[in-house]
């Protein structure tokens, strides 16, 4: 069974006319976010460059939830375009526009048109940590061995 959380959403003037975020299949984890760039002014993302893409949306998440902005696998596989700060985090107290920082790792310029699916947003519960200062940590087989140590 999948839990449902109600989220208030506002379409900003430059996002009007675009569909709201939607799950594309019955068991999809992410809602697609669309580019709210002007019809007459698509954005061209040159190879190696990044840009902040507007979605024309603002949301009010309930306390103890976050929204994670993640890449779309199709854009990454076909064009080398991905979310630069993946996953981007939208906190429950943020009320500004959701923007997606895309980067083009591909070899060709990538054109972002109005309504294009540019990222996906996953709504997730948040667990808050309470740190306890101790003199020593419990021992494990791994200990302090770091990067690449578990494959040996």
DSSP reduced 3-state for 105:
coil
DSSP reduced 3-state for 94:
coil
| Tokens, residue 52 | 């902040």
Architecture of domain 8-151: Distorted Sandwich (2.70)
DSSP reduced 3-state for 43:
strand
The whole-number pLDDT of residue 23 equals 95
The whole-number pLDDT of residue 151 equals 65
DSSP bridge partners of 112: 43
This prediction's pTM: 0.89
Q: What is the dihedral of CA 32, 33, 38, 40, to 10 degrees?
A: -30
Q: How far is Cα 81 from Cα 119, in angstroms, rounded to an integer?
A: 10
The whole-number pLDDT of residue 143 equals 86
DSSP reduced 3-state for 6:
coil
Q: Which residues of the chain have pLDDT under 50?
A: none
CA dist list (Å): 27 to 2, 58, 61, 118: 9, 24, 21, 20
Express each pLDDT in 92-110 by its tens digit. Answer: 999 999 999 999 999 999 9
DSSP reduced 3-state for 63:
coil
Express each pLDDT in 28-52 by its tens digit. Answer: 999 999 999 999 999 999 999 999 9
């Amino acid at each position: 069974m999948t839990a449902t959380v109600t989220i208030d959403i506002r379409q900003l003037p430059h996002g009007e006319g675009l569909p709201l975020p939607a799950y594309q299949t019955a068991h999809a984890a992410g809602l697609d976010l669309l580019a709210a760039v002007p019809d007459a002014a698509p954005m061209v993302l040159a190879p190696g460059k990044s840009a902040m893409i507007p979605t024309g949306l603002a949301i009010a998440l309930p306390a103890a939830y976050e929204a994670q902005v993640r890449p779309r696998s199709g854009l990454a596989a076909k064009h080398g375009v991905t979310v630069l700060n993946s996953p981007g985090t939208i906190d429950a107290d943020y009320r500004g526009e959701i923007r997606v920082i895309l980067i083009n790792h591909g070899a060709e310029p990538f054109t972002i048109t109005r309504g294009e699916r540019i990222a996906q947003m996953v709504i997730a519960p948040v667990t808050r940590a309470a740190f306890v200062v101790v003199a020593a940590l419990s021992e494990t087989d791994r200990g302090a061995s770091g990067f690449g140590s578990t494959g040996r």
